Chain A
Amino acid sequence: MSLHHDLLAQALHLATREPKKPKQASLRRSVSASYYAVFHLLVDSAVRRLVSGQDRTALRNCLRRGFSHATMTRVARQFAGGGVSPKLEPGLNQLRLQTELINVADTFAALQDHRHRADYDMAHAFTRIEALNLAQDARRAFSNWDVVRNTVQADTFLVGLLSLDILRT
């Protein structure tokens, strides 16, 4: 099983492991795992598209470290909001963004903020339903990614996640 699938399973498990009186530690780790499940799903997809071959595992692992959470969030917001950067827009070949891809982008951007609050904002207490629902959002993002993952729009998204901030206009 891949890391991103394990993280998704962990998010669902932690959201439901104490059904009557859930611990904040469990719920916060669940929210964080939901975010990292989608993060690693997208990073894994990108590095496999960009560097293929069984003898390139080490190189793919190097490339994984080139992704920035801030850049990824910025690109995800663009794709979720429909305003793709002019630096990436030609890659779309004038094709419209699929609803599924917009959902993946929206979910990633939202989970990034929720993860931030889960890790750092002790004033916000998460609830079981909240954490469970966010884990199910992540699961839906996985399903939607499966629908679009081999399209040019998805590839444009992945290129943006890795490189938007270093692309010249």
Chain B
Amino acid sequence: MSDNTAAIHTALEELTGLPTPVHAWRVKEGLDATDDPAVWVWAIIDEADYDAEALHQVKDMARAVVRSTVPGLWPYVLVRGLGEPDPTT
């Protein structure tokens, strides 16, 4: 895990007041389709808790965390279910 990835992961873990539970965060750094430095963040949720409106807020919060933690990385935030494959393996 790179320093950027670790810092973002820690900041996400410290998020409070989430409108819906996030079981875990997954973070991956790389280059996006335009070759710009980027980070992909997945909020791993229990599918039974799926609430589209609450997840919009979670994603907004995660994007803000990435932008404040490592300003040079463009944030892409996605959602996966607990029973779905781990995106970082």
Q: Which A residues are within 8 Å of any B CB, using their own CB?
A: 70, 73, 77, 81, 103, 106, 109-110, 112-114, 116-117, 124-125, 127-130, 133-134, 136-137, 140
Most chain B CB within 10 A, of A77, A103, A133, A134, is at A133
Is residue B78 within 8 Å, beta carbon to beta carbon, of the partner chain?
yes
Q: Mark B31-64 against chain A: 1 for CB-CB distance below 8 A, else 0.
A: 0111000100000010100101001100110010
What are the 6 tightest A-B residue pairs by CB atom distance, in nearest-first order? Answer: A116-B33, A127-B84, A133-B79, A129-B81, A136-B52, A113-B33
**Closest partner residue, chain A, to B71 (CB atom):** A81
Minimal beta-carbon separation of A161 from chain B (angstroms): 16
Q: Determine chain A's interface SS by DSSP, over half rule.
A: helix
Contacts A128-B84, A133-B52, A136-B52 given; indicate if A114 touches B76 (C-beta within 8 A): yes
A-B contact sample (13 more), CB < 8 A, given A103-B60, A116-B33: A81-B67, A106-B63, A109-B74, A117-B33, A124-B87, A127-B84, A129-B47, A129-B80, A133-B52, A136-B52, A136-B56, A137-B56, A137-B59
Inter-chain contact B50/A129, CB cutoff 8 Å: yes
Which among B38, B74, B77, B84 is the interface contact of A129 at CB below 8 angstroms? B84
A-B contact pairs, 18 of them (CB 8 A): A70-B34, A77-B74, A81-B67, A110-B76, A113-B32, A117-B33, A124-B87, A127-B80, A127-B81, A127-B84, A127-B85, A128-B84, A129-B50, A129-B79, A130-B80, A133-B52, A133-B78, A137-B56
Q: Is the CB of A130 within 8 A of B79?
A: yes
Considering the complex, give the chain B residue whose CB is closest to the CB of A73. Answer: B34
Residues of chain B within 8 A (CB-CB) of A116 are 32-33
Known: A112-B33, A117-B33, A127-B80. A133 touches B55 (CB 8 A): yes
Question: Per-residue CB proximity of B4-39 to A under 8 Å, as 1/0?
Answer: 000000000000000000000000000011100010
Min distance, Cβ B69 to any Cβ of chain A, angstroms: 15
- Least CB distance from B6 to A in Å reads 22
CA of A125 to CA of B74, assembled, Å: 21
Residues of B within 8 A of A136 (CB): 52, 55-56
